Amino acid sequence: MPISRLPVDEQVDALREILSHNTALTDVLARAAELNLPGWYLTAGCVFQTVWNVVTGRPATDGILDYDLFYFDGADLSWEAEDTVIQAGRTAFADIPAEVEIRNEARVHLWYEQKFGVPCQPYDSTEAAIDSFAATTCCIGIRVDSGGRWRVYAPHGLSDAFNLVVRPNPVLAPRDVYEAKTARWRRQWPTLTVLAWPQAA
């Protein structure tokens, strides 16, 4: 039976087993837990692209540019506070062969329009930031709680990731961002099914 047809709890178990093939990801996950950042998740490409690699028989880290570590600290929106966390992360992940990008999602609205050309309303949580990714397939976050249990945030489910389907999510990122990302992904994973940006958006 395809993984996407399994009950949700079994899909989560399957996700964890698949991600265990990427030891850089599991090392980052374990050390991120030790940083004890508020509302943190490891998210975006390192998660769903590991799935794509494993289900298509590629090396688990193939094509993964970086490992996105999101957290949410609305109490201090200064760059200095975020940079303190970034520097702590550089120390924590120094010997892991992966580029770890740490971002305070409470600050995204301060720089998003300058980078992407559209305004971003302030997020109220890390989950809200994950909800705004350009493709629903990307909207998966994982973390380990204080008891060592894996927690998975996947507002659109996991089936598209397992099935290599990329579905647009026109809530924030503009169409050109989605199309640029999917063009790159298609070159790396040519068996992807990329759904078109909705014309009405």
- Specify the pairing of strand 193-194 against strand 165-166: parallel
Other Cβ atoms less than 10 A from the Cβ of 53: the count is 21
What integer pLDDT is reported at residue 201 of this predicted model? 47
| pTM for the full predicted model | 0.92
3-class DSSP assignment, residue 123: coil
* Residue whose structure tokens are 């089936």: 159
* Burial class of residue 4, CB neighbours in 10 A (0-12, 13-18, 19+): middle
Q: How far, in Å, are 63, 119, 156, 182 from residue 140 at the CA level?
A: 18, 23, 8, 17
The pLDDT of residue 115: 86
With beta carbons less than 8 A apart as the criterion, state whether 35 and 60 touch: no
| Per-residue confidence (pLDDT) for residue 125, from 0 to 100 | 97
Which residue pairs from 88-96 have beta carbons closer than 8 angstroms and sit at least 24 positions apart in sequence?
A: 88/35, 89/35, 92/31, 92/32, 92/34, 92/35, 93/27, 93/28, 93/31, 96/24, 96/27, 96/28, 96/31
* Interacting residues of 154 by C-beta distance below 8 A, sequence separation 6+: 139, 140, 141
The answer to whether the beta carbons of residues 42 and 67 sit under 8 Å apart is yes
**In the prediction, which pLDDT does 200 show?**
64
Q: In whole angstroms, how far apart are CA 183 and each of 70, 90, 186, 189?
A: 25, 31, 5, 10
How confident is the chain (201 residues) per 10-residue block, as mean pLDDT? Answer: 76 94 96 95 97 97 96 96 97 95 97 88 96 96 88 96 96 92 96 92 47
C-alpha to C-alpha distance for 117 and 140, rounded to whole angstroms: 25
